[in-house]
Amino acid sequence: MPKISVIIPVYNTRKYIKKCLQSLANQKMQDFEVIIVNDRKQR
């Protein structure tokens, strides 16, 4: 089990998600998981 869980809510973030994930991948800590949640509300 990872030490840290990073939860990223996404909605209209196409311009930023790549940079966000690259930033997380470049961290010194390697024992983490990334959970991406689609925060779009259903109509």
Q: For residue 4, what pLDDT is reported?
A: 93
The answer as to whether 16 is a domain residue is: yes
The answer as to whether 15 is a domain residue is yes
Q: How far is CA 43 from CA 4, 13, 40, in A?
A: 33, 19, 9
Q: How many domains does the chain have?
A: 1
Rounded CA separation 33/35 (Å): 7
Query: What is the domain range of residue 33?
Result: 4-38
| Residue 39 pLDDT | 81
- Give per-residue pLDDT as tens, 4-42: 999 999 998 889 999 999 999 999 988 999 999 998 877
Q: Does residue 43 belong to any structural domain of this protein? A: no
Model-level pTM greater than 0.95?
no
Nearest to 36 by CA among 1, 2, 3, 24: 24
Q: What is the pLDDT of residue 32?
A: 93
Beta bridge partners of 37: 9
Give every CB contact of residue 3 below 8 A, 6+ residues apart in sequence: 29, 31, 32
pLDDT at 43 exceeding the cut of 70: no
